[in-house]
Structure 1
Amino acid sequence: MNSVSLWNRYKTHLFHDPETGLMIDISRMNFDDGFLAAMEPAMQKAFAEMAALESGVIANPDEGRMVGHYWLRTPSLAPAGGIASEIADTMWKIKEFASAVHSGKITAPDGRPFRNILIVGIGGSALGPQFIADALGSASDPIAPYFLDNTDPDGMDRVLSQIGPELATTMTVVISKSGGTKETRNGMIEAKAAYHRAGLYFPRFAVAVTGAGSELDRTATESGWLARFPMWDWVGGRTSVTSAVGLLPAALQGIDIEGMMEGARICDAMTRHTVTTQNPAALLALMWHHATGGRGSRDMVILPYKDRLLLFSRYLQQLIMESIGKELDRDGNVVCQGISVYGNKGSTDQHAYVQQLREGVNNFFVTFVEVLLDRTGISLPVEQGVTSGDYLAGFLQGTRTALSDKGRESITITIPEVSARTVGMLIALFERAVGLYSSLININAYHQPGVEAGKKAAGTVLALQAEVIAHLSNTETPQTADEIAAAIGHPEAAETIFRTLLHAVANTDHGVGMERATPLTDSRFVIE
């Protein structure tokens, strides 16, 4: 297609919202002239399902739950039952609590102001807050954020060592809806132990974000933690960033949460349009359907050309893949749906995987995220009449063209700047696109049975480990994994036992020794 034809296609298909400056360019997606019309009936059905979801129907039938993350930004949409007042009350409490911390009304036990927050969570309870903190944080923030977002002991040691003696002025925010998430519980236990080693009383530093009556809620209440903030069963983890999950850490850090909520609210209104070409989320959902054949046949590559949006692809990985990656559709048919998401940032990827994107296997489509404002103030010219930001913009344009020249498809999302408002817009835009796309392909975007299956499998491994350790504790004879498996009545679990024992040998916690053999699988294990 020549440049004139491309320009005409660009003008025809460009979405632009003058109020916010949001632009969506789908012109470099190779859909034919009849695609949008052919998809219109399905799109209208998706709009109707989304309207029903926002009205409070059970949109997650597998778990019998409403889906209400849109209410967080517009509480008046919430169904009866006090939900709107709960949302408003929680927002007020978040702002009041953050203000009290910043003003020194709430302090560390020694009277010094809190200077850090340690956020303990995993998945949606960490990815959203991390993205917000990195995208909107600055050197002048009153409080610096740290995260324990895994059950990796070395990772926790690393974060705690970075905090060091400042632990005495560090507030810990533990985020878990059920309070029983093992990774978050482990992080809380490790954090509590770190405070204890420093001679500090953990409850005087601790805040909970959790469901009412949960295990964590009970712990916080009984131990007298500083504060508790609610999570509701109608907000899923991956769509919880505009609840207390994301807003409390952001407010404590000093981020403009009102601006973020305003951006999300504006985008929500924009993406309720039932005229498809006026709905940017619908355009994204349709392009995902076109690119992947509605079956996930291609990967989504996220390329934000802005350092502050580095974590956006990680945030979107969970939002999109956990929502869309489902074995069964809503009718119980095996469909194995999903879209794989990966990405980093431009122009870093000019020197990484863009080479393959242009000349390798064509199994992807790119979503560029363009930010028009380079920085606050004047930029230094690096060449005559050219700034570093001009280069960044040039690399984006060049990469987009280079991919298009090879028949590689791309979407370009443009925002005027990175601000609390535009970050809120991006979050709401992709949340809605996921919801609409899930309707197009007839799956439940709001549950995650695969995640639960993994947790159950992990529990089985740990129970087996306990049996193995107990068996070895009652014998002095070194045994192979096969012999141990037979002795405890689990011959089918020899591989799991072997791998579990390799981990036990590498760590001194259980006192397991190993007599190495060749092949390695013939090695013998014993309690030393």
Structure 2
Amino acid sequence: MEKLQLWERFKDRLYADAETGLVLDTSRMDFPAKFSAELEPRLQQAYAQMAELEGGAIANPDENRMVGHYWLRAPELAPTPELSEVITGTLTSVKAFAHSVHNGNIKAPDGGRFTRLLVVGIGGSALGPQFVADSLGNAGDRMRPYFFDNTDPDGMDRVIAEIGTALPQTLVVVISKSGGTKETRNGMLEAQAAFQRAGLNFAAHAVAVTGVDSELDRAASQQRWLARFPMWDWVGGRTSVTSAVGLLPAALQGIDVDRMLEGARRCDASTRRTATKENPAALLALSWFHATAGKGAKDMVILPYKDRLLLFSRYLQQLIMESLGKEKDLDGQVVLQGIAVYGNKGSTDQHAYVQQLREGVPNFFATFIEVLKDRPGTSGEVEPGATSGDYLSGFFQGTRTALYESGRESITITVPEVTPFTVGVLIALYERAVGLYASLINVNAYHQPGVEAGKKAAGTVLKLQGEILELMRSQQSRAFTCEECALALARPEEVETVFLILRHLAANPDHGVHMVSADKPWESRFQLRAVAR
């Protein structure tokens, strides 16, 4: 397409909203002439379904619950006065608690102020707070954040080592709706052990964000933790960042959570519009449907040209892939839906994988995120007439052009700068786009049976590990191959899992399993020895 024709299409397609500062350009998506008109009836149905969702309809029949993350930034829209009050009350409590910590009214046990923040969570209880912390953090933060976001012992050891001598001034926020999520529970226990080794009372440093009367809620109450904040069953983990899950860590860090909520609220208002050209989330969903043929045929590459937005692609991976990656549609038909998401940051991606994007397999569409403001204040020139920020903008524009010239489609999202307000806008934009796209492809965006299946499978592995250790204790003088062990347990079909368990046990001193290696790994022998304590 000639540049002047592309310019005309740019003007026709450009969405720009003065109230949110959001600009969305879909001119590099080659829609067929009648595409938008053909999808319009389905979009109107999606708007109606979204209105029902916000009105309190049961959106997740698997768990018989509503989905109300939109109410978090507009409590007056909640379906009952009681819900409105609890949302407002929780926000007030979050801000009051953070203010008391910052002012030293809530002190560390040594009498000093809390200066460090350790957030323990997994999935949506970590990815959203991490994205917010990284995008909006500065050297002058009221508290420096750290995260336990996995059940990797070495990873947790690294975090504790980084906190170092500041552990006595560290506040711990444990986030788990059920209180039984194993990764979060393990992180909490590892944190407790680290505080105990340092001679510190963990409860005097701990705060819980959890469901009322959950396992974690009861433990925090019995052990007299500093505070407890609610998680509600109508807020899913991947859409929880504007609940206490994300707001408490952000407020403690010193981020203006009111502005973040205001950005999300204003974006929500724009994405409720039923005129598609005036609804940025609908334009995104429409672009996704075109790019993927409504069947996940292409991957989504997120390319933010700003260091502060590096973690946005990781946050979107969960939001999009967990919401849309479904085996069956709402009618029970096998559809195998989803959109794979990955990303880096510009212009780092210029030296990483843009070569393949430009000339390799055309199995993707790109989303560029442009931030207009380079830094507070002025920038010096790195060569006559050009700053570092000018180069960043040039690389963005050049990459966008180069991809389009090679037949690679892209969307561009532009925001004025990275602030709590614009982060709220971006979060709300993608939450709504996911919901609308899910309606277009007729899947439930608000359940995750595959995640639950993985948790159950992990539980089965750990149960088998217990059986293996019990067998080895009962025959401590015997060294087993994995096949002998599986036969002795009457589980010959699980021999591969038995081998993997034995190999892991032998690599660590915790259970006292010793391995005598053989040339063929599966012929190695494993024996229980007394654990040195």
TM-score (norm 2): 0.99
Partner in structure 2 of residue 26 of structure 1: 26
Q: Deviations over 1:391-410 (max 9, x none)?
A: 00000000000000000000
Q: SS where residue 402 of structure 2 aligns? A: helix
Matching of residues 362-441 of structure 1 within 5 Å? 362-441=362-441
Matching of residues 90-105 of structure 1 within 5 Å? 90-105=90-105
Residues of 2 paired with 1:75 and 1:466: CA distance? 48
Partner in structure 2 of residue 126 of structure 1: 126
Residues of 1 paired with 2:181 and 2:81: CA distance? 28
Partner in structure 1 of residue 495 of structure 2: 494
Higher deviation after alignment, 511-520 or 287-296 = 511-520
Q: Deviations over 1:47-80 (max 9, x none)?
A: 0000000000001112111000000000011011
Q: SS where residue 369 of structure 1 aligns? A: strand
Q: Where in structure 2 are there 5+ consecutive unaligned residues?
A: none
Q: Deviations over 1:20-66 (max 9, x none)?
A: 22110000011111110010000000000000000000011121110
**Counterpart AA for 2:96:** E
**Counterpart AA for 2:57:** V
Matching of residues 65-80 of structure 1 within 5 Å? 65-80=65-80
Q: SS where residue 66 of structure 2 aligns? A: coil
Partner in structure 2 of residue 482 of structure 1: 483
Residues of 2 paired with 1:63 and 1:226: CA distance? 31
Residues of 1 paired with 2:42 and 2:306: CA distance? 35
Q: SS where residue 173 of structure 2 aligns? A: strand
Residues of 1 paired with 2:22 and 2:461: CA distance? 48
Partner in structure 2 of residue 512 of structure 1: 513
Q: SS where residue 301 of structure 2 aligns? A: strand
Partner in structure 2 of residue 181 of structure 1: 181
CA apart distance, 1:432 = 0.1
Residues of 1 paired with 2:277 and 2:61: CA distance? 30
Q: SS where residue 142 of structure 2 aligns? A: coil
**Counterpart AA for 2:457:** A
Residues of 2 paired with 1:85 and 1:207: CA distance? 22
Partner in structure 2 of residue 247 of structure 1: 247
- Check whether the contact 2:210–2:231 (CA below 8 A) recurs between aligned residues: yes
Q: SS where residue 72 of structure 1 aligns? A: helix
Partner in structure 1 of residue 2 of structure 2: 2
Residues of 1 paired with 2:60 and 2:138: CA distance? 38
Partner in structure 1 of residue 41 of structure 2: 41
- Check whether the contact 2:19–2:266 (CA below 8 A) recurs between aligned residues: no
Partner in structure 2 of residue 108 of structure 1: 108
CA apart distance, 1:165 = 1.4
Residues of 1 paired with 2:32 and 2:329: CA distance? 27
Residues of 2 paired with 1:162 and 1:334: CA distance? 47
Residues of 2 paired with 1:44 and 1:75: CA distance? 25
Residues of 2 paired with 1:176 and 1:449: CA distance? 18
- Check whether the contact 2:472–2:528 (CA below 8 A) recurs between aligned residues: yes
Q: SS where residue 390 of structure 1 aligns? A: helix
- Check whether the contact 2:28–2:404 (CA below 8 A) recurs between aligned residues: yes
CA apart distance, 1:518 = 2.3
Residues of 2 paired with 1:215 and 1:19: CA distance? 43
Q: Deviations over 1:273-332 (max 9, x none)?
A: 000000000000010000000000100000000000000000000000000000011111
Q: Where in structure 1 are there 5+ consecutive unaligned residues?
A: none
Residues of 1 paired with 2:36 and 2:365: CA distance? 18
Partner in structure 1 of residue 307 of structure 2: 307
Matching of residues 440-459 of structure 1 within 5 Å? 440-459=440-459
Q: Deviations over 1:330-371 (max 9, x none)?
A: 111111100000001000010010000000000000000000
Matching of residues 121-200 of structure 1 within 5 Å? 121-200=121-200
Residues of 1 paired with 2:524 and 2:392: CA distance? 55
Residues of 2 paired with 1:263 and 1:21: CA distance? 10
TM-score (norm 1): 0.99
When the two structures are aligned, how many residues end up with a matched partner?
528
The two structures, once aligned, show a CA RMSD in angstroms of 0.6
Partner in structure 2 of residue 527 of structure 1: 528
Q: Deviations over 1:449-503 (max 9, x none)?
A: 1001000000000000010111111211211111110111111000000011110
- Check whether the contact 2:10–2:25 (CA below 8 A) recurs between aligned residues: yes
- Check whether the contact 2:482–2:499 (CA below 8 A) recurs between aligned residues: yes
Residues of 1 paired with 2:19 and 2:195: CA distance? 48
CA apart distance, 1:413 = 0.2
Q: Deviations over 1:73-113 (max 9, x none)?
A: 00011011500000000000001000001111001011100
Residues of 2 paired with 1:19 and 1:119: CA distance? 33
Identity of counterpart residues, as a percentage? 67
